[in-house]
Amino acid sequence: MNVEKAAQSPTEKVLFYIGIPLALLVFAYIFTMPTPEGLGYNGKVSMATFAFALILWVSGSLPTYVTSLIVIVVLSIFGGWDEKSVLGVFGYYVIWLMVAAFIITSGMEKSGFARRLALGMVTKFGKSTITILISLFVVNFLLAFVIPSTTARAAVMLPIMLLIADAYGVNKGNINLGKLMGIQGLQSNALSTSAILTATAPQILAIGLVKEMTDFDFGWAQWFAASAPIAILSLAASFLIGLVLYKPEKVIAGGGGIQKLKEEYHSLGKMTTIEKKALFIFGFTIILWATDKWHVGLFGFQLSLVMVAVISATMFFLPHIGILKWNEAKIPWNLMIFSAGAYAAGISLNATGVATWALEGIFHSLGVKDMGFTGLYAVVIFISSFSHFVFTSKTVRTIIVIPTVIALATSVGMNPVALAIPAAFTIADTITLPPHCKPNLIYFSTGFYTIMDQLKYGILVLLAKWLLMFGASFTWFKYLGII
């Protein structure tokens, strides 16, 4: 089943061919225009470079990592940001955290523990159509702790879901149960991701941006305490909305699918030494992340989120303790290069004052400065959630949305953290269309549902989550001190 690349729409094909010339024209126009009042020369160069990169990222005319390399060169040579700062981005805390997270992912994948967990849950609780759907939600949530990759989790769940579909006689596109398993599969993947900071790299990137731009350090435990209740309530809303939209048929298991799952689960036997080692290392990591506020009292020093991740990654390589060799660590260096360039482009906008300058002009004309916090919060959360319609890459969205929100809050005299952190909780809200993330493409490849099914269902769930986020601004987030 090939799900690596979706067919391009006519609009995407046009963007692909015009992306490079359009990006060059926009860069040339901004670079040669008179420096706007309120900006310096470096701000103009930074703005031109960001616009150039944004067009290429959206159009897909060049690989994202190539565009990021160009950004690094252009910012340095043309004076948008000094060379030391641009090159120094690769040593930022967030890049190291991403590298460590991918090493941890590689170790958990090699161990096979995640597959054991998924098979055990489904075979134990999948007794009826309702319980099978609930068990798939629960499994996706639990896997978000042990596999810090949305795509990897989808790859683990797809074959299990297909066996369940066979057991219950699901005909592609014809039975509501198939629609629910497919669409709820991608939704539970995304919504569970939002509960756990390390479940996807862009969320780590968002917290890195907040730390760099506001000096506010938001740890793993703080993220979980704030976002997990919203994620769990959103999962419940997704389940209920699905039952209303597509009431599942009462069907009798057949086709031997459940038996195959049970046989596969029993064939795993007892937990292997590799699984036990991986589970020990990851459990140790979770404990350190969850207790970050008590490190000084416990150890006499503070271990940051990134340092815990690096320690965990190191343990996976240690003789006798670890289970990985270097060539088994699946670190996507192209993503690292892309992230470094995107990070440099986003940070340079803030460092040169472009973000604040642009937003002050835009939002002044919209009357945002006259809007109270509640109204502004509602608008920001709505836009940050549904911005995935425009920016299909979570990383690109993060680079654009988080600095923009911080600059907006600063320009209107509000606490930027009170808007930026809740906005970060929406980064994984990519559930409305197949191209919006790789897990969507993986689930869409089953043929169990149409694009319109996913769009309608996704919009309703995101509106429900938006209402939950809005309510949290008066209650849970306020109690935690975020707002």
Spell out the domain ranges in the chain. 93-328
CB 54 within 8 A of CB 7: no
Place of tokens 């429900």: 464
Per-residue pLDDT of the chain in tens (483 residues, 90 and over written 9): 333 344 456 777 888 899 999 999 999 999 999 999 888 999 999 999 989 988 888 788 998 889 999 999 999 999 999 999 999 988 877 688 778 877 887 887 788 887 787 778 777 776 678 888 898 899 899 888 877 778 778 877 876 787 777 767 676 545 788 899 999 999 999 999 999 998 888 998 899 899 888 989 888 989 999 999 999 999 999 999 999 999 887 755 555 556 777 788 888 888 999 999 998 998 898 888 778 778 888 889 888 878 888 999 999 999 999 999 999 998 888 878 887 887 788 778 878 888 667 766 666 676 766 788 998 999 899 988 988 876 667 887 888 889 888 988 887 888 999 999 999 999 999 998 886 777 887 788 778 888 888 999 999 999 999 999 999 999 999 999 998
Query: Which tokens belong to 35?
Result: 């420096």
Longest dimension (CA), the chain: 72
Query: Which tokens belong to 397?
Result: 């969205």
Return the half-sphere exposure (C-beta side, CA atoms, 13 A cut-off) of residue 418: 20
CB atoms within 10 A of CB 414: 15
CB 269 within 8 A of CB 63: no
Place of tokens 């944004």: 54
Place of tokens 């703080």: 222
Which residues lie below 8 Å from residue 283, measured CB to CB, with a gap of 6+?
none
Which residues lie below 8 Å from residue 250, measured CB to CB, with a gap of 6+?
129
Distance CA 89, CA 99 (A): 14
Which of 61, 36, 69 minimizes the C-alpha distance to 49?
69
Q: What is the pTM of this model?
A: 0.72
Round to the nearest angstrom and report the end-to-end CA distance of the chain: 46
